């Protein structure tokens, strides 16, 4: 029996690549798949639907600024490391630990090194997260989604794999023809999809809310507003406007069906929209670490001609002007990510455990 331990979390962006790989490995009956994550975390919720042995540990956030919470979280990280050590100690030495980043991964990777496990990590963004920067020092191999990320890690163990994109992105058919009460194949209006990510975006929400009547006159709209904002936006719902807190598996079909997508620029969203060859409008999160979302979005701009607007530029624009600019921008369609990224990573996992 082959054993693999996934870790990574704190946000959906760190968990989804792991889930994509887990879905590929589950049908292989010779695998036992474990996941080490936070006790009350997004990764625990997201992997609950899969045949995975979930092990919760204490986690602490890694901050680059002074905070009294740093002292508390150092203790939590140390506690999580001890928990991870005993979890991994019970597994065979020939167990692979595969980390997708986020602060939960650090104690797991350190414990994996102490217990003599092989360690692979995957960096999703075009810039490097602090957790993966730390974990790379212990890793046997480092995989990156963007070629420009190669320079941030040691040459001898870093490989350009691409981002492991869900299979559904390479299938043109719709698995969900309806979302809520909206027919995704409705030809009477174009579909506009707005998403601020799994947690929503107050900036994008306000942008849409201010001109909702204009937008509804032209589009059917699906709007992922985030859990914190759903009560407010649910009051605005009608047959043309569907606000939702969080979208699960249907999101790929929504992206396929949409004529226009306005989005933040998390690495997963950018890579999937590139794979779908969707020329989208990206508004990167300004406070993202090392401005990583801007660099993610510029990959889509370079490859597909996607429109990238900064939060500062947004202050002087309204949705109507943005859409007019979008319609006038050039669609390049040079190169999109290929499905081989997932197959390549699975092959690397197989080889490490053979």
Could you list the residues known to form a binding site for UDP-N-acetyl-alpha-D-glucosamine, using ranges.
11-13, 166, 293
Beta strands in the chain (DSSP E): 2-7, 31-38, 53-57, 95-99, 118-123, 141-144, 158-160, 178-179, 182-183, 190-195, 219-224, 241-244, 260-263, 281-282, 307-308
What is the tens place of the pLDDT at every residue in 210-251? 899 999 999 999 999 999 999 999 999 999 999 999 898 899
- Distance, in Å, from the CA atom of 324 to the CA atom of 214, rounded to the nearest integer, reads 13
Per-residue pLDDT of 109-157, as tens digits, reads 999 999 999 999 999 988 888 899 999 999 999 999 988 899 999 999 9
**36 has which bridge partners?**
7, 55
Whether residue 53 is predicted with pLDDT greater than 70 in this model: the reply is: yes
Alpha-carbon distances of 141 from 134, 135, 164, rounded to whole Å? 13, 10, 16
Q: Report CA torsion sign: 121, 127, 128, 130.
A: negative
- Supply φ then ψ for residue 38, to 5 degrees: -70, 165
Domains and CATH numbers, the chain: 2-165+339-353 (3.40.50.2000), 169-328 (3.40.50.2000)
* pLDDT at residue 279 in the model: 86
> Which residues sit in the known binding site?
11-13, 166, 293
What are the tens digits of pLDDT across the range 284-307?
999 877 788 999 999 899 888 999
Distance CA 128, CA 198 (A): 21
- Residue 48 has which token pair? 């609950």
Question: Across residues 189-208, what is the average pLDDT?
Answer: 92
Total-model pTM: 0.85
Q: What is the mean pLDDT of residues 76-84?
A: 95
Q: Is the pLDDT of residue 185 over 60?
A: yes
- Residue 65 has what pLDDT? 59
So what's the pLDDT on residue 35? Answer: 98
- pLDDT computed for residue 281 by the predictor: 96
| Distances, alpha carbon 253 to alpha carbons 66, 166, 222, 249, 264, in Å | 43, 12, 12, 8, 18
* Tokens found for residue 89: 């100690």
Q: Is the pLDDT of residue 330 over 80?
A: no
Residue 338 has a pLDDT of 58
> Hey, which residues does 38 pair with through a beta bridge?
57
Task: Select from 116, 121, 112, 137 the least CA-distant residue to 57.
Answer: 112
Strand partners, 332: none
336, two tokens: 């999109």
Residues 6+ apart with CB under 8 A from 97: 4, 5, 7, 88, 108, 109, 112, 117, 118, 119, 120
pLDDT > 60? residue 163: yes
> What are the Cα distances from residue 256, in Å, to 28, 60, 218, 252?
29, 37, 19, 6
Distance of alpha carbon 166 from alpha carbon 192, whole angstroms: 22
Query: What's the confidence (pLDDT) of residue 337?
Result: 55
Task: Give 349's pLDDT tier (boundaries 50, 70, 90).
Answer: very high
For all residues of the chain together, what is the average pLDDT?
91
Return phi, psi of residue 122, to 5°.
-130, 130
Percentage, residues of the chain above pLDDT 90: 66
pLDDT of res. 206: 94
Q: From residue 84, give the alpha-carbon distance in Å to each of 47, 210, 289.
A: 18, 48, 27
């Amino acid at each position: 029996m082959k054993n693999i331990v996934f870790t990574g979390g704190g946000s959906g962006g760190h968990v989804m690549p792991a889930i994509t790989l887990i879905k590929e490995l589950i049908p292989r009956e010779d695998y036992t798949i474990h996941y080490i994550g936070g006790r009350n975390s997004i990764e625990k919720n997201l992997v609950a639907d899969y045949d995975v042995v979930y092990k919760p540990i204490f986690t602490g956030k890694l901050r680059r600024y002074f905070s009294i919470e740093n002292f508390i979280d150092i203790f939590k990280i140390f506690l999580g490391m001890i928990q991870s050590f005993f979890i991994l100690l019970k597994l065979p030495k020939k167990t692979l630990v595969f980390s997708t980043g986020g602060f939960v991964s650090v104690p797991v990777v350190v414990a994996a090194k102490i217990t003599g496990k092989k360690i692979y990590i995957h960096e999703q963004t075009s810039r490097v997260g602090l957790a993966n920067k730390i974990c790379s020092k212990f890793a046997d191999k480092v995989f990156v989604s963007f070629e420009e990320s190669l320079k941030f890690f040691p040459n001898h163990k870093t490989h350009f794999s691409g981002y492991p994109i869900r299979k559904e992105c390479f299938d043109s058919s719709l698995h969900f023809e309806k979302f809520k009460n909206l027919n995704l194949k409705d030809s009477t209006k174009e579909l506009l999809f707005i998403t601020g990510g799994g947690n929503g975006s107050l900036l994008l929400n306000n942008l849409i809310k201010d001109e909702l009547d204009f937008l509804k006159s032209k589009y059917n709209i699906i709007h992922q507003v985030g859990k914190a904002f759903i009560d407010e936006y649910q009051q605005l719902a009608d047959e043309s406007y569907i606000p939702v807190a969080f979208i699960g598996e249907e999101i790929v079909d929504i992206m396929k069906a949409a004529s226009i997508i306005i989005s933040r620029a998390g690495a997963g969203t950018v890579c999937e929209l590139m794979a779908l060859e969707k020329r989208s409008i990206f508004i990167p999160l300004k406070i993202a670490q090392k401005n990583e979302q801007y660099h993610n979005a510029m990959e889509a701009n370079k490859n597909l001609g996607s429109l990238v607007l900064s939060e500062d530029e947004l202050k002087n624009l309204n949705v109507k002007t943005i859409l007019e600019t979008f319609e006038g921008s050039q669609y390049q369609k040079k190169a999109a990510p290929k499905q081989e990224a997932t197959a390549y990573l699975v092959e690397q996992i197989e080889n490490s455990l053979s």
